[in-house]
Amino acid sequence: MTQHAVSQTLGPVSLEEIFITHELERRLRRPPDYQAENRGLVALARDLAHAPESILQRVTEAAMELCHAATAGISLIEQYEGRSVFRWRALAGVFAAHLGTMTQRDFSPCGIVVDRRQAQLAAAPERYYPYLAVQPPIVEVLLLPFFVAGEAKGTLWIMAHDEQRKFDAEDVRVLSSLAEFTSAAYQVHTGLATVVRKQAELERSNRELERFAAIVSHDLREPLRTVTSYTQLLARRYRGRLDYEADEFIAFTVAGAKRMEQRIEALLTLAHISTIGGEFLPVSLETVLEEVLADLHSQLQEAGTTVQRNLLPTVFGHAEQLRSLFQNLLTNAVKYRHPDRHPNVQINAAKSHDQWEIRVEDNGIGIAEPHKERIFDVFQRLHTSKEYEGMGIGLALCKKIVERHGGHIWVESKPEQGATFVFTLPA
């Protein structure tokens, strides 16, 4: 069996001599074993849900078992050096070691099956396909094509290496239902591969972007510091010595440079979230919240804030980042309070499936529907600095922290009634 496409030397017999599909109907049909078949399909459905990455392999094992075959496999059509080939992508039984073997699409029993679009039985195929002269010899091979949206994607096949084992119409029936299943499994499998690839690409480009942001902000710091210190110097030395307008311009420049400095600091903090921190450790959110409440004590008290909460869990994470998460959410709950009432914040944790859902609910001004997503983007604010102080970095930071911990964050809100920031963390 070669790793590469084989030459087109024809064997001594014709194609029609090795394909004996008509025999299937003539042979005595073995009785169906519906129980075994049901058990097999249920197990496959379970595997598809729990371990989709190995589902093609599981299908071949099921085909081998249910059809009492010695070898089973799935060959998928792919492009190799500009040509269409079949690659053995899942194998079970005697030929399991030959995983990855390729055969030319135009010179392979799989090609015939796909062209004829139905089950085909071949006997001693090496008589026509010399590269199939293997040990133990292939006495019979039964192949079925499978399709996705009408397009052939590959074949599911079983082999007998024993003269006593002849495939019949019952094997075709069982293999047909498995071929249907293979089509679904194939879609999950290729979909999954695409998701994994896209995820890796995304992570790589995110890392690059972060590095870029860190470098740019770092490099901007130095010249900006020069601008800031000289404009401050200008302001000190020349205040009152030039005219009123000049004083005002200098003040704008100083304020602008300060804002830029703060933004650069903020960008650097954001870029650092994914780089610092090393290993995750058990962190008691109860302790984290206690510390944040103590830090914000005077701020909370000044606004007349009441805080209600249930017991928070211990999660795996980065304590400092989780502290920053609670601190940002609580500060915002107080900052964006409703002018007609004192702030009330309720913090609740509930476990659902394999994750914690933590809700930080306030009774503030709330957020209108169209802004619910963009507030998590960096520098996105719904108010001017005159109305509410801030830079639009807090929620971007929260989002990054939650995502780095394997969770999601979103907001639920009715304007004028309050906002609930909800985030999940793996349990």
Binding site for ligand ADP (CB under 6 A): 328, 332-333, 336, 362, 364-367, 375, 381-383, 390-396, 419
Cα–Cα distance, 387 to 419 (Å, whole number): 18
Of 104 and 332, CB closest to ligand ADP: 332
CB of residue 375 vs ligand ADP: minimum separation in angstroms? 4
Cα–Cα distance, 50 to 56 (Å, whole number): 13
Of 171 and 362, CB closest to ligand ADP: 362
Scan for tokens 């409703």, then name that residue. Answer: 338
Of 106 and 373, CB closest to ligand ADP: 373
Of 4 and 383, CB closest to ligand ADP: 383
CB of residue 179 vs ligand ADP: minimum separation in angstroms? 53
Of 66 and 367, CB closest to ligand ADP: 367
CB of residue 363 vs ligand ADP: minimum separation in angstroms? 10
Of 60 and 328, CB closest to ligand ADP: 328
Cα–Cα distance, 426 to 200 (Å, whole number): 21
List the structure tokens of 74: 């799935």
Nearest to ligand ADP by Cβ — which residue? 390
CB of residue 227 vs ligand ADP: minimum separation in angstroms? 24
Of 24 and 345, CB closest to ligand ADP: 345
Of 126 and 357, CB closest to ligand ADP: 357
Scan for tokens 């030959």, then name that residue. Answer: 98
CB of residue 394 vs ligand ADP: minimum separation in angstroms? 3
CB of residue 376 vs ligand ADP: minimum separation in angstroms? 7
- Kindly report the three-state secondary structure assignment for every residue of the chain: CCCCCCCCCCCCCCHHHHECCCHHHHCCCCCCCHHHHHHHHHHHHHHHHHCHHHHHHHHHHHHHHHCCCCEEEEEEEEEECCEEEEEEEEEEECCHHHCCCEEEHHHCHHHHHHHHCCCEEEECHHHCCHHHCCCCCCCEEEEEEEEECCEEEEEEEEEECCCCCCCCHHHHHHHHHHHHHHHHHHHHHHHHHHHHHHHHHHHHHHHHHHHHHHHHHHHHHHHHHHHHHHHHHHHHHHCCCCCHHHHHHHHHHHHHHHHHHHHHHHHHHHHHHCCCCCCCEEEEHHHHHHHHHHHCHHHHHHCCCEEEECCCCEEEECHHHHHHHHHHHHHHHHHCCCCCCCCEEEEEEEEECCEEEEEEECCCCCCCHHHCCHHHCCCCCCCCCCCCCCCCCHHHHHHHHHHHCCCCEEEEEECCCEEEEEEEEEC
Please count the CA atoms within 13 angstroms of the CA of 146 that sit on its side-chain side: 24
CB of residue 334 vs ligand ADP: minimum separation in angstroms? 9
Of 67, 169, 179, the closest CA to residue 114 belongs to: 179
Of 37 and 295, CB closest to ligand ADP: 295
List the structure tokens of 155: 């074949």
Of 143 and 345, CB closest to ligand ADP: 345
CB of residue 342 vs ligand ADP: minimum separation in angstroms? 14
